[in-house]
A and B are shown apart, each in its own frame.
Chain A
């Protein structure tokens, strides 16, 4: 149904996809900077590869559950979901996952175009890293979804939690590698940043698929990613349970 709903508004979906321009802007910006000389170990080609990967990961792992939750709580339409004999978080997850095929319709040609432009060296050639691309993307999606679901659940307490999500999004923009590769952070900060979940939402799958991640770190970082997924999943379920007890179900 999520896929069907996404198809119902084809023009809106296309506009939404076109709105994901930040990685392309960063690509243009950083390649222009690197034209004067490499920044760290990133030359022009490296920046192009990194931000192409960023665009692909961002398109493939986005979620919107926080807006759905806030809307349904304020409009009183959460009732429909709560009457189903399925945990509400699972229904939100299914709806967000169901729209991914539509996104991959966009990701696939971009991937092909980027490969044609930059060559196969755009991607890692390591068999381990290649095989872990799907799992790392799934982990990135879930690590996007569950914190969003937690923030959305706060609307059961506060009626609206969009401002809290804006704060989270600001932190994500800086700390996930979305605008600056984490490798370029000052060493004093890099250690802290690599402990935070944001890296595993974007930078880790990008570095893995482009081969920027040292092979010996791959499994460790994958484990960190999925440890965060598990932690946020449990936290989201717990917060939902508490929030439902506070839910006032106003509206009709």
Chain B
């Protein structure tokens, strides 16, 4: 079901995870005053297996998407790999270090950027946070200025550097967060929903920046996102996790072909088609919207169906693409459900 990446380089793995687990003991309390009073003396606990034995390897300079539904264990895994959480069991090595030992050399070589969290100092301009990071990471003035100039240019931060962070928009803040995160040129970049809440233009800009940073500096990028455009644009390889278990590790294309070995054809007709014409297309009709049709057809029958369509109706536009990644993942998770 989940073949390992065929291109794995076992001599240059930057991230090695073996049987990693994180279990939490969570107190539960029903609503109401009586339950609140009872909880003073006795609180029932429940064991949550946020991550329950996952194993994978990621090579240097790879870009890997880390996917899964809410509560699957993605962020928990990233936090263990960045040294924020002590694993319950299992083994992890990142850039040659055990993350939870939290050695300065390890922390200087990684960065976790969470779209919902910030590292910028709220009351001060981003330039102050950049200076603080320069001191914390021990960057020479020359190295710092060179990196900062590059980041300011690529992310277009010139107008933002002197404004207090609290006065920046979400998109502006996110760009500054990325700049702050990359000043020390981390070798491993954990991105936890970096485009959340951003408009489409800013999302595209952030994706483009991440790709260029990876290509230019050879940084390893692990990305979690609920926006499939992020994953499709950035990640040749995906690791899918569901309820703490790894359910897929391989290329995105293989995932799609494995779960939904079909193609989605979108037709724009010159005129609305008669129902009889639609019945003879030889493919499953997904949706009809005026002159726009969506069909689903097995990969092996694609050529025949396209020929049939072109002979049955007058087409002004036609596109062939993989099924939406959201649907592929939804199918995958549905198969995992008990």
Interface residues, chain A, CB within 8 Å of chain B? Answer: 1, 4-5, 8-9, 76-77, 79-80, 82-86, 91, 244-245, 247-249, 251-252
In the assembled complex, the CB of A225 is this many whole angstroms from the nearest CB of chain B, namely: 30
Given A83-B83, A251-B117, 10 more contacts at CB 8 Å? Answer: A5-B121, A8-B123, A80-B117, A83-B82, A83-B110, A84-B136, A85-B105, A244-B86, A249-B85, A252-B117
- A-B contact list, 30 entries, CB within 8 Å: A1-B128, A1-B132, A5-B121, A8-B124, A76-B117, A77-B117, A79-B79, A82-B83, A82-B84, A82-B102, A83-B82, A83-B84, A83-B110, A83-B111, A84-B107, A85-B107, A85-B108, A85-B137, A86-B104, A86-B136, A244-B86, A247-B86, A248-B24, A248-B85, A249-B85, A251-B117, A252-B75, A252-B116, A252-B117, A252-B192
Q: A79-B114, A85-B136 are in contact. Are A249 and B124 (CB under 8 A)?
A: no
**Which of chain B's residues has its CB closest to A8's CB?**
B123
Asked if B156 is at the interface of the complex by the 8 Å CB criterion, the answer is no
**Which of chain A's residues has its CB closest to B184's CB?**
A85
**Which of chain A's residues has its CB closest to B25's CB?**
A248
Q: In whole angstroms, what is the CA distance A86 to B75 when docked?
A: 23
Q: Can you list the 5 inter-chain pairs with the closest CB atoms, starting with the nearest?
A: A85-B104, A85-B107, A80-B119, A252-B116, A8-B123
Question: Do A4 and B24 touch (CB < 8 A)?
Answer: no
Q: List residues of chain B with CB within 8 A of the CB of A80.
A: 117-119
Instruction: Count residues of B near A (Cβ-Cβ below 8 Å).
Output: 33
In the assembled complex, the CB of B83 is this many whole angstroms from the nearest CB of chain A, namely: 7
CB proximity to A under 8 Å, residues B58-111: 75, 79, 82-86, 102, 104-108, 110-111
Q: List residues of chain A with CB within 8 A of the CB of B128.
A: 1, 4
Asked if B112 is at the interface of the complex by the 8 Å CB criterion, the answer is yes
In the assembled complex, the CB of A183 is this many whole angstroms from the nearest CB of chain B, namely: 43
The one of B84, B107, B131 that contacts A79, using a Cβ cutoff of 8 Å: B84
Name, among B124, B129, B131, the residue most crowded by chain A CB atoms within 10 Å (CB to CB). Answer: B124
**Which of chain B's residues has its CB closest to A241's CB?**
B102
Q: In whole angstroms, what is the CA distance A84 to B111 when docked?
A: 9
Q: List residues of chain A with CB within 8 A of the CB of B24.
A: 248
Q: List residues of chain B with CB within 8 A of the CB of A84.
A: 107, 136
The one of B110, B114, B129 that contacts A252, using a Cβ cutoff of 8 Å: B114
Q: In whole angstroms, what is the CA distance A86 to B123 when docked?
A: 22
